[in-house]
Amino acid sequence: MVEAYTNKLLVIDLSLESHETINVPESLKQEYLGGKGFGAKLLFDGLAPGTDPLDPDNLLMFMTGPLTGTMAPAMRGCVVTKSPLTGIFLDSYFGGSFAPEIKYAGYDGLIIKGAAKKPVFIWIDDDRVEIRSAKGIWGTDALESNRLIKQELGDGSIKIAGIGQAGENLVSYALIACEYNRQAGRGGAGAVMGSKNLKAVAIRGTNPVKVYDADGFTRACEKAFRQLEKSPDVEGFRRTGTAGSVEFANETGLLPHKNYQNGTFSKASNLADKGQSKHLWLGSNACMGCPIRCSKIGAIRTGRYKGVVTDIVEYESAGLMGSNLDISDVRAVAHLVKLCDCYGMDSMSTGSVIGFAMEACEKGLIPSPQGIDLKFGSIEAAEYLIRAIAEGKEGLGELLSRGVKSAAERIGRGADAFAVHTKGLESPAWGPRGVSGMGLAYMTTDRGGCHQRGFPIGYELTGQWEGQTLDPLSPEGKAVMVASLQNYSAGTDTLVKCDFGSYGICADTYAELFSTATGRQITPEMFMETGERIWNLTRLFNLAEGMDSSKDTLPRRFVEEPLPDGPSKGHRISKKDMAYMKQEYYKIRGWNENGVPLDKTLQRLRIQYAQFN
């Protein structure tokens, strides 16, 4: 049958210097659909609990969805592995053109295991696979290595996913750069790649992706494009990218300032779209085939960093590398984020780590490095720390390279009180004290505190979700909403769609795209059920790694310190509210009071869990 799956996975063993192609089991497609689901199931079945994420046995998977590489709009790729930052499940998404190329080369995904004895890169040219020496490129940054590999292979159109020095030095929040300006950013997949002595994967594909019902699929795509065009949210992303969220977050008191001590920043507008447009942006850019074009390509035009070529400073980076550090010059923030991109380091975690270090220094818990004034507002201190961390320097660089959680544990003396993370993943730039549902989402997200596995803020602030009235500060009604959003997110992440596409494309249209592309009829309810299945599977994976109910919690700052400013001034998410939301959430999920899925829940979802028991 012609369908959008290639039905093949390429497995590369770097220890054995071998590779093989395996068929995608029919049951995997039926129960897990693609992307996140495939990765979650393969990781659950293929990785023994307790495996060190940097052990050669860890799996590093680049997954596509059934619609990746087709003309369906706003589709991406994802990396699935066990995170060195959190020690639990990790899925991290990337745009650009690397994922479609995997499909064009004939694979639904790449599974990389083992570790090379010396630095290598993988070269996949359709069905020809080579493991090549990376001797000449090891030590280069993520952009330079991309250029050098293309030069060596003699084709500038090859697509490359690779690491910079941070991944080589096993920084726990190193990222994988997927072409120039797209990254699998969160959770440290770049360190897993570095632990395998793998500098990059280069790929070229020449096979078309076929669909089951070409006419029906074309109609579904046209519908999706129309829905995107009609959406005011999508129009907003097109105009301002995520930078448009800076002013919104500031007005609602959710913007992190000085390591989340405050929820507003008096100079926030400098970091928002107007400031970026004035100093950086030259034009719009997009991932392959995406009509939203949320990206803004440009260069710093004035001042000390003049000439640095830059992409948009995304909201998360503006928040965590800007307001969170009390830095208001958007040109400096763009420079710091670009440094992170080149070194191959997640700018969100990096900003959070630096904010933590600035506060720790102000509290006298760590010293300033010689010649540096480690305090909020210091661009020099931020740059110094980025370089020290990425380059694996002794002292502060090494201390901070394992993330906020690890640094706080090693410093001790109360540093945990201002270490802002959940399960080891540094928090996103949305302080949750004025929106308790966002807090619950952080508490329960499968990869650690994250805003991308259910984002209830819009519903909370408008006070409405599916006909129910919501009070953003109350714990009431949050569990059912968060569980539902998480199921939908996980279910549609099997398509490996971009989150922003969901602001226009409705569930029925995603179902139509899937059905016409694969020949398997699916309904929006089936996305929800698949999402719930995946969420329970990743829960089992995390429980087996020791992430029990006690870890479903929030950073102490959000629990113990009332917000000092903004519309929700005086509010915090109390232990009582956390406990209430958590137990409600467990009940709705069909888990026991310790957050363990009940047998009947797993049976209903047809989850085999022999490994867990």
Does 454 bind ligand SF4 (CB under 6 A)? Our answer is no
Which of these, 392, 36, 57, lies nearest to 196 by C-alpha position? 57
Report if residue 166 touches ligand SF4, rule: CB under 6 A: no
Stretch that binds ligand SF4, among 284-292, 342-350, 469-477, 545-553 (CB under 6 A): 284-292
Task: Name the strand (E) or helix (H) holding 23.
Answer: strand 18-23
Nearer to ligand SF4 (CB atom), residue 237 or residue 442 = 237
Answer for which of 111, 166, 268, 294 binds ligand SF4 (CB under 6 A) is 294
Sheet holding 309-310, edge to edge: 281-285, 295-299, 309-310
Nearest CA-CA partner of 76 in 7, 210, 179: 179
Q: Which stretch binds ligand SF4 (CB under 6 A): 21-29, 286-294, 296-304, 600-608?
A: 286-294
Binding residue for ligand SF4, selected from 227, 295, 350, 352, defined by CB under 6 A: 295
Distances (CA, A) of 494 to 64, 295, 461, 581: 8, 23, 29, 27
Q: Which stretch binds ligand SF4 (CB under 6 A): 14-22, 198-206, 282-290, 356-364?
A: 282-290
The least CB distance from residue 533 to ligand SF4, in Å, is: 25
Q: Is 299 in the site for ligand SF4 (CB under 6 A)?
A: no
Residue 72 in contact with ligand SF4, rule: CB under 6 A = no
CA nearest neighbour of 313 among 291, 292, 328: 328
**Interface region with ligand SF4, contact rule CB under 6 A, candidates 293-301, 330-338, 515-523, 579-587:** 293-301
Structure tokens at 528: 């929800």
**Which of the stretches 55-63, 262-270, 285-293, 438-446 binds ligand SF4 when contact is defined by CB under 6 A?**
285-293
Interface mask toward ligand SF4 for 94-113; x: CB under 6 A? -x------------------
Which member of 293, 375, 387, 551 binds ligand SF4 (CB under 6 A)? 293
Nearest to 351, CA basis, from 388, 312, 329, 322: 322
Question: Is residue 292 within the footprint of ligand SF4 (CB under 6 A)?
Answer: yes
54 binds ligand SF4 (CB under 6 A): no
Residue with tokens 């907003």, as numbered in its chain: 236
List the one residue from 71, 153, 286, 596 that touches ligand SF4 (CB under 6 A). 286
Binding to ligand SF4 by CB under 6 A, coded x per residue (else -) over 221-240, reads ----------------x---
DSSP 416: G
Nearby residues of 312 by Cβ (< 8 Å), 6 or more positions away: 241, 242, 243, 276, 280, 281, 294, 295, 296, 298
For ligand SF4, the closer CB: 76 or 405: 76
Query: CA 479, CA 410: separation in Å to the nearest integer?
Result: 34
Complex with ligand SF4: residue 77 or 187, whichever CB lies closer: 77
Query: Using alpha carbons only, what angle is made at residue 468 by residues 466 and 471, rounded to the nearest 5 degrees?
Result: 120
> Which residues make beta-bridge pairs with 285?
295
Of the chain, the end-to-end C-alpha distance in Å amounts to 38
CB 354, min distance to ligand SF4, A: 25
Q: Which of 333, 339, 418 lies closest to 377 in space, CA to CA?
A: 333
Residue 167 sits in the site that holds ligand SF4 (CB under 6 A): no
Q: CA nearest 179: which of 282, 333, 287?
A: 287
Which range in 173-181, 197-205, 283-291, 432-440 contacts ligand SF4 by CB under 6 A?
A: 283-291
Q: Which residues pair with 82 in a beta bridge?
A: 89
Q: With CB under 6 A as the contact rule, which of the stretches 188-196, 290-298, 421-429, 593-601 interacts with ligand SF4?
A: 290-298
Least spacing, CB of residue 240 vs ligand SF4, in Å: 12
Count of residues engaged in binding ligand SF4, rule: CB under 6 A: 13
Q: Which segments within 64-173 are labelled E, that is strand?
A: 77-82, 89-94, 109-113, 120-125, 128-133, 159-162
- Which of 82, 296 has the CB closer to ligand SF4? 296
Instruction: By CB under 6 A, tell whether 74 contacts ligand SF4.
Output: yes
Q: Given the complex with ligand SF4, which of 120 and 290 has the nearer CB atom? A: 290
Tell me how far, at minimum, the Cβ of 239 lies from ligand SF4, in Å: 12
Which one of 290, 407, 457, 543 is in contact with ligand SF4 (CB under 6 A)?
Answer: 290
498 binds ligand SF4 (CB under 6 A): yes
Residues 6+ apart with CB under 8 A from 245: 315
Stretch that binds ligand SF4, among 9-17, 218-226, 291-299, 416-424 (CB under 6 A): 291-299
Q: How far is CA 362 from CA 43, 320, 356, 439, in A?
A: 42, 18, 10, 27
| Residue spans of alpha helices (H) in 306-433 | 315-317, 330-343, 347-362, 379-390, 396-400, 404-411
Which residues would be at the binding site for ligand SF4 (CB under 6 A)?
74, 76, 95, 237, 286-287, 290, 292-295, 498, 500
